[in-house]
Amino acid sequence: MTDAITEAAARWHAAQADDAMDWNGFTDWLEQSPAHQAAYDAVALLDDRIDRAIPAMRDLLPEDEPVAPRRHLRLVGWSAAAAVLIGAIGLGTWHGAQPGAADIALYRAPAGQTRAVALADGSRATLAPGATLRVSNGAQVALEGKGYFDIRHDPAHPFTVTAGAYQIRDIGTRFEVVSDAGMLRVAVAEGTVGVTSRTANGEIRVSAGRTLTAFAADQLAEVRTTPPAPVAAWRGGRFSYDNEPLGLVAADISRYAGAPVLIDGVLARRRFSGIIAPGSRAVMVRNLEQLTGLDATTEGDAIRLGNRTGG
């Protein structure tokens, strides 16, 4: 197989991120020769292989390598209130260094970028664009938004993630958490986690290959087999959903784009399935409009999704 054919296959593959993809042209190209089809297969499998290897690959690359230049601030000895403020405006990491005081660090991934965070004992988290993680004493973390966790299990120091009204307790595992607007999704890649909610009784166990989706904190409902899209596909820059609340989808786009996308309570609980290509907020919202039949209107710097007027 020549490099020229591989390169052509890779061009077709790369073009698919764009909604303007020429699918008919791609079909024509595939029909031209079995070698084209074989080359495309190889490229698609290689890309899949790369996506799967990326979390492990991050471990091998220098942490927060300034591939894309970004600012880091490390302030020592400020008050916790200052830490919260700095976290909120997204300037990076803060460490409380007062002797005996709780050790709190705040991490925030800026819009459009993921961020790797090293936790205690070799555990790691990857934050999706716009997500915030607050770490207290190395093992209690609070997440806002979407994050992927790779946790070394230590029975003496159980690890918990708090996400709004929910708590996720690990039993030595790798999992993805998405939380927003009172909703939660936990997808487990390896091991088992236990999920509790402030307003529901009992703990629900979620094991490898399963996904828990909660539409509201008082009803810890669905645990299903994880859909075929790989866990945490967003790390490869894709947004794919299978029967998930629209509220989480809107929150994903807001965080990714760094500008608000709003959706009302009732609609936020509606289910959505589909794939949204990453892009500007306007493009992603337009894509979502097409897939849901909802209408977007502009409100100041926010975009609000609502029912089609008159319908």
Interacting residues with other proteins between 76 and 95 (CB under 8 A) = none
Nearest to 29, CA basis, from 47, 8, 52, 44? 8
Cα-atom radius of gyration of the chain, to the nearest Å? 21
Q: What share of the chain is helix, strand, coil (3-state, %, to 5)?
A: 30, 35, 35
What is the dihedral sign for C-alpha 75, 81, 83, 85?
negative
Which residue from 293, 295, 302 is spatially nearest to 272, judged by alpha carbons?
293
Residue type at position 257: A
Our finding on whether 290 is near other proteins (CB under 8 A) is yes
Q: Map the footprint of other proteins across residues 184-213, applying CB under 8 A.
A: 189-190, 207-210
| Residues binding other proteins: number (CB under 8 A) | 86
Least Å from the CB of residue 84 to other proteins = 26
**What does the alpha-carbon distance between residue 59 and residue 124 come to, in Å, rounded to a whole number?**
9
Structure letter (DSSP) for residue 62? P
Judged by beta carbon, residue 134 or residue 235, the one nearer other proteins is 235
Write each residue from 240 to 269 as x if it is in contact with other proteins (CB under 8 A), else as -, in one continuous string.
x-xx--x-----------------------
CB of 243 to other proteins, least distance (A): 6
Among 168, 294, 303, 304, binds other proteins (CB under 8 A): 294
CA–CA dist 253, 112 (Å, integer): 10
Q: Which is nearer to other proteins, 237 or 260 (CB)?
A: 237
| Sign, CA torsion 292/258/187/197 | negative
Site membership for other proteins, residue 171 (CB under 8 A): no
Nearer to other proteins, 199 or 207 (CB): 207
Beta-bridge partners for 105: 135
Stretch of 12-20, 73-81, 93-101, 139-147 contacting other proteins, by CB under 8 A: 12-20
Pick one of 23, 137, 264, 298: the residue that binds other proteins (CB under 8 A). 23
Partners of 166 in the β-ladder: 163, 197
Task: Say if CB 221 and CB 204 are below 8 A apart.
Answer: no
**What is the smallest separation between the CB atom of 118 and other proteins, expressed in angstroms?**
16
Interface with other proteins includes 173 (CB under 8 A)?
no
43 binds other proteins (CB under 8 A): yes
- Least CB distance from residue 46 to other proteins, whole Å? 6
User: Taking the complex as a whole, how short is the minimal distance between the CB of residue 83 and other proteins, in angstroms?
Assistant: 25
First to last CA, the chain: 54
CB of 30 vs other proteins, minimal distance in Å: 4
In this structure, the chain runs to a length of 311
Among 104, 139, 216, 291, binds other proteins (CB under 8 A): 291
Task: Output the DSSP codes for 128-157.
Answer: PTT-EEEEETTTEEEEEEEEEEE----TTS
Handedness of CA 173, 179, 184, 187 (dihedral sign): negative
The answer to the question of residue 72 lying near other proteins (CB under 8 A) is no
Compare residues 23 and 297 and give the one whose CB is closer to other proteins: 23
The pattern of x and - marking residues 107 through 146 that bind other proteins according to CB under 8 A reads -----xxx-------------xx-----------------
157 sits near other proteins (criterion: CB under 8 A): no
